[in-house]
Amino acid sequence: MDFSEAERNGFIEAFVTFWSNRTDDDRSEADLREAASSLLRGCQEHFRAGVTRLSRISGVIPLDKKDAFVHRALSLLSVQTKDDFSVRAKLILRDFPKTASWLEWWIRPAHASMLFEAHRKMEIDIWDSIPVTTNAEEAMHWKLYAATGRNHSFLEGLQALYAVAAYYERTYREKTSASFVHY
């Protein structure tokens, strides 16, 4: 995810709606929201770009402390415990108080769990399998662009997306209906 509140909330709402309409799932709405949240992973590159952008604003980060800020901010990505993360974040806020609104946005629980190891909700094997420099949505956009091209007219774009959806539906049906003989 790109850390958009609308994007994150939209995913969670769609997840809850989808699973609530299934008769074979008896999880509560709260359980479904928690499960949806644990499936979101953000792109570290967006955070890194923000660190770089902020470090270039001399009214926020003094020039002689730029490297220290960058090092401290980026170290938040690899901190393992919430306590250590909290200590480091508070030190950044103490030494670079003009970063408060920026850093507080990133360390909100909803955002932090998608980006920082210490706040991870996702299972570790899934977390480790997703590249840190992209996210699943951007990867899917790339697949769609590779399959359909770009800059279509509206109707051509819809037709191209329909063809992609039909391909995945066919693939799914083939895999779920095929009976395999095991020896």
Determine phi and psi for 32, rounding to 5 degrees. -65, -40
pLDDT at 173: 87
First-to-last C-alpha distance (Å) of the chain: 43
| Cβ-defined contacts of 139-145 (< 8 Å, 24+) | none
- CA torsion sign for 154, 168, 37, 145 is negative
Would you say 12 and 33 are in contact if contact means Cβ atoms under 8 Å apart? Answer: yes
SS3 at position 175: helix
Task: Give the mean pLDDT per block of 10 residues along the chain (183 residues).
Answer: 78 94 93 92 88 96 97 96 97 97 93 93 88 68 83 91 90 77 51
Calpha distance 70→74 (Å, rounded): 6
Calpha distance 65→112 (Å, rounded): 25
For the chain, domain boundaries: 5-37, 44-129, 136-177
Q: Position of tokens 């309409």?
A: 21
pLDDT at 103: 96
pLDDT at 129: 84
pLDDT at 178: 65
pLDDT at 182: 52
Q: Which of 100, 102, 103, 92 shows the shortest CA–CA distance to 65?
A: 92
pTM over 0.85: no
Calpha distance 82→73 (Å, rounded): 15
